[in-house]
Structure 1
Amino acid sequence: MNTDELKIKSFFEERKREEELQKDFIIHQGYTAFGEILKEVKSRGSLNEADVYYGIPKPQLSFSEVELGYMLTSMMEYATNHVGNPVDEESEFENKLAFFEHEKEMLQIYEVSGQGTDSWFEIPDEETIDKLSNTAYGVYLIQFDDFINHYKNKVIK
């Protein structure tokens, strides 16, 4: 193999390893992470990877900013692929939302694109919770169990 082939092979091996770490974290720590994220969001108002690294006070999480990134990315991808994403019409930036529920608690992921992309967890406002619970908008509400089971099924395949 030449150097370019080795670099490509190494890239794909590293990507596969990262995907396995991500799946493993979601399957084995997902419920714990959801609870800890929810607690921090209720305390702080929102939570993203930078908060774990730079936040004052530091969030009390049993996992790293990389693993929080796994949750943000994986949950948004799951929502996009399974129910689609509504947008915040009042925002001047391109954005998309995702909503997850576990044990009657809801988390929202807000992703904004511009000169880069940033995403964070927050609690949906009362109006949004009402729409998710009582209207056709509820199609966007994902049960967190379904998200975890999706990853468990990927491992089985």
Structure 2
Amino acid sequence: MKNTEFKITSFLDEYKRRDQMRRDFIIHEGYSAIEEIIKEVNQRGSLNEADIYYGTPKPQLSFSDVELGYMLTSMMEYATNHVGNPVDEECEFENKLAYFEYRDEIVQIYEVYGQGTDSWFLKPSDDTIDKLNNTAYGVYLIQFEDFINYTKNKDIESEKLSPSSTILNDITGGYTVGRGSK
């Protein structure tokens, strides 16, 4: 029994450590990271973690593939939880999209599910940008600063909670989970 307790405690500690690393990167490096991402996307058309290893030419980023993954995952989670996600109807695989604006530049996140999940930053088409700026589709456009502020607030909130409460809050998406509620 103690071995199981140790594994659970170890798992929870590792989860909290990785979550804190992700939040620290976004809070302290998020603005410079999105500037570099937008620059690369404007030059390349898209950017994902594999481009760091296999891209020709290699992207000029001051951060790692893991940190790029932090941005992709966290931004998509934020979009999903705050405005929802449109889908690309022409894609044969299950997918979802997110749009972020920073300094009048729009970057799209494209996430596809098949035999795994792959996601990447993409430069949206001119038609998509027009829809985001001039139609009700604009509800999906998120200000990058709102994402950073949310991450900062979540970090402050997690400092007030115990480690297990923070993890439970993260797992449940902020919803209170009660026993025997009717």
Which residue of the partner structure matches residue 42 of structure 1?
42
Tell me the number of residue pairs that the alignment of Structure 1 and Structure 2 aligns.
157
Runs of 5+ consecutive residues of structure 1 not aligned to the other structure: none
Decide which structure has the larger Cα Rg and report it.
Answer: 2
> Where in structure 2 are the equivalents of 1:8-157 lying within 5 Å?
8-157=8-157
The alignment-based identity, stated in percent, is: 73
Give CA-to-partner distance per residue, 1:19-42, whole Å, 9 cap, x none: 000000000000100000111111
- C-alpha deviation, 1:57, in angstroms: 2.0
Runs of 5+ consecutive residues of structure 2 not aligned to the other structure: 158-182
Give CA-to-partner distance per residue, 1:2-55, whole Å, 9 cap, x none: 212111111110010000000000000001000001111111111001111222
Counterpart CA distance in 1 for 2:146 and 2:118 is 25
Give TM-score, length-normalised by structure 2.
Answer: 0.84
Counterpart CA distance in 2 for 1:45 and 1:32 is 19
- C-alpha deviation, 1:58, in angstroms: 1.6
- C-alpha deviation, 1:56, in angstroms: 2.4
Counterpart CA distance in 1 for 2:100 and 2:23 is 18
Counterpart CA distance in 1 for 2:53 and 2:75 is 21
Counterpart CA distance in 1 for 2:156 and 2:13 is 20
